[in-house]
Structure 1
Amino acid sequence: MASTHSTFKNALIAILATFPSILFYISFLHHHNNEDHSLWNWCNQHPFLLANVMFFLNVNVLFWFIALLQSSLHWMIGLYWMVIPVMLLHFYANHPMAQYNQLRSWIVTILTWIWSIRMLHSYLRRENWQLGVKQDWRYIDMSHQYGKNWWWISFFAIYISQQVLQMGICLPLHVVHSVDKPLNLLDFIATVICIAGVTIAFYADTQLRIFISKNQKLKQLGQPLVPILDKGLWCYSRHPNYFGEQMWWWGLALFGWNLGHSYIFIGAVLNSMCLGYVTMLVEENMVRENYRANAYNLYQKNTSMWIPWLIKSTSNDKGKKN
């Protein structure tokens, strides 16, 4: 009962948290033609900078402050990682300076909503449909590392860094709504890549969830745990969910590159670098656990890290199968 009450309270906080930005943006759209108001004129001329200012004040500052009030429980930034791209999409599409091909905008809008819904479903399923109960294990590790200084370091390590990364990978959403050119073959290719990425990530996460659930049942029954997941997509890649996620962002970047902005891939590159670091941390944790260390070492040797590829060898031993 207490858990349900906490989830309801945190859901309400999460819903209300972005109201300052939403209300401000609605007010701006209503008054943007006011030539006597320098603030509205600035907002009208600088959509990307305005998005960054709103992100800094509403997400970085407000979310960080809420986390401090909740005993440094930084859960909202993880939840909104899956929501902010949708918000940015509609921010750019409705901005007075927007100009774009309507069909391309609709395609990117539908793809972004599909990605967001898939991510939210995976996140809530992983959290057992609860909000604010726990936070990312990486934040927990960093809190132990920085100790009493974590309260202020977290602002830069979690929030400022997230702004740089998220505004970078969402740059294609801005470009799509600032250039009006007819659709071509590259738009079709980008669409296929995005759909493939979301599909791969969805099935990989579902297979991982089933694996974890089965191991939890085995643990409750006091039976030996299955050391590694090497079935389905995980037979061809050690991190097919990360691969699918990267495909999505690289496909999205292709939309922007197709519109003449070669720098647009910087966000996808940064995201791949971050996922590379996360992959390293995940694999370090995997080999720390004695019951799976040997099996996972063999799995590493015989299975591609990201890009799905044919297994290098087979064995009847589950620990050696790849």
Structure 2
Amino acid sequence: MGGNLKNALIAVVAPLPSILFYTSFLHHYPAGDHHHHHHHLSPIWSWCYHHPLLLANALFFFNVNVLFWIISLIQSSNWMIDVYWTVIPVLLVHYFQSHPRSEFNSWRSTVVVVLTWVWAIRLTHNYFRREKWQWGAREDWRFTDMARQYGKNWWWISFFAVYLIQQVFLIGVCIPLYIVHTVNQPLNIWDITATIVCITGIICAHFADTQLHTFVTKNEKLKEVGKPMVATLDEGLWYYSRHPNYFGEQLWWWGVAIFGWNLGCTWGFVGALVNSLCLAYVTILVERKMLKQEYRVEAYKMYQKRTSVLIPWFKLSTNQVPKEKGT
């Protein structure tokens, strides 16, 4: 219990440097104060005013990359970035909205902020449900694998492989949230489209993750009583897609990108695209992991052949499945 409470406390205190720095900046530059030229202000506040996106990156760099990394070295675990993956977009959207240089349509801004909160609450709930409501009991298995791979160099490689890369990702996918708060245009059909895509993504990911959680919990109980475990999850959304949770998550980010694209920011899609490519790689890792578990190899290979990898689609019937030599 002590460790759990300590980690919860660390997680709550960790973002405070950025929040305190930013609130003192807002104190010098009230929001909506576009015509206020403070000649007597220190160059640092002036810089913060003129470079909202660079400031977001600077805060991320020092507060997440450097500070979280130092905490991870002390704790020998990179668990905190997982919790913050769901929190940082919320912090960013409020930062973009409250920055003194922001300009936006208040309806669009409200929709985007609410959607980001709904997305974050869903993902955070799923994270804690999966971790059995513990803070930092373990880190992401991919980091553990990398730590094994890099051995005694991991302490410095982790700075780039865990933290710096997350900055590129998170700021990248959140660029449309910044665009929404720099352009003031009336709502149009694309805003409705983006909203529908975002909501569909959230709902799809929620049901997929819940079905996965039920499946994993059931298997844990079977294992406890010494019964054979169920090899593959092949019902609900998982009947139509091998990774419906990733599909929902990607749909969410593409929906966010449409908000930015609608306001003239074509390169807002870059973040969503990179995120999709990254999830494609994770998909490969997850499937390799599945095929290493003896009790599910055969069933999973069959499942792979018959089921769409990402986009939910109908099953290939058994006679459409390409036969292996020698069968």
TM-score (normalised: structure 1): 0.95
- SS of structure 1 residue aligned to 2:3: helix
Q: Does 1:22 align with 2:19?
A: yes
Q: Which residue is equivalent to 1:51?
A: 56
Measure the CA separation in 1 of the matches of 2:39 and 2:87: 33
Question: Superposition pairs for residues 40-119 of structure 1, below 5 Å?
Answer: 40-70=45-75, 72-119=76-123
Q: Which residue is equivalent to 1:285?
A: 289
Measure the CA separation in 2 of the matches of 1:114 and 1:305: 26
Unaligned runs of 5+ in 2: 30-35, 320-327
Question: Superposition pairs for residues 189-268 of structure 1, below 5 Å?
Answer: 189-268=193-272
Measure the CA separation in 2 of the matches of 1:35 and 1:59: 32
Unaligned runs of 5+ in 1: 316-322
Measure the CA separation in 1 of the matches of 2:39 and 2:150: 49
Q: How many angstroms does 1:314 deviate by? A: 6.2
Q: Which residue is equivalent to 1:318?
A: none
Q: Which residue is equivalent to 1:183?
A: 187
Measure the CA separation in 2 of the matches of 1:239 and 1:228: 12
Q: Which residue is equivalent to 1:127?
A: 131
Q: Which residue is equivalent to 1:158?
A: 162
Q: How many angstroms does 1:305 deviate by? A: 0.5
Measure the CA separation in 2 of the matches of 1:249 and 1:149: 34
2:302 to 298, 308, 312: 298
Residues 208-252 of structure 1 show CA distances to partners (whole Å, capped at 9, x for unaligned) of: 000000000000110011000000000000000000000000000
Measure the CA separation in 2 of the matches of 1:30 and 1:220: 57
Q: Does 1:6 align with 2:3?
A: yes
Measure the CA separation in 2 of the matches of 1:62 and 1:314: 53
Q: Does 1:307 align with 2:306?
A: no
Q: How many angstroms does 1:312 deviate by? A: 1.0
Measure the CA separation in 2 of the matches of 1:79 and 1:159: 13
- SS of structure 2 residue aligned to 1:206: helix
Q: How many angstroms does 1:21 deviate by? A: 0.2
Measure the CA separation in 2 of the matches of 1:247 and 1:48: 25
One-letter amino acid of the counterpart of residue 190, structure 1 = A
Measure the CA separation in 2 of the matches of 1:218 and 1:145: 33
Residues 57-108 of structure 1 show CA distances to partners (whole Å, capped at 9, x for unaligned) of: 00000000001111x2001111000000000000000000000000000000
Q: How many angstroms does 1:146 deviate by? A: 0.2
Q: How many angstroms does 1:35 deviate by? A: 2.6
How many correspondences in the alignment?
A: 311
One-letter amino acid of the counterpart of residue 45, structure 1 = H
Identity %, equivalent residues:
58
- SS of structure 2 residue aligned to 1:97: coil
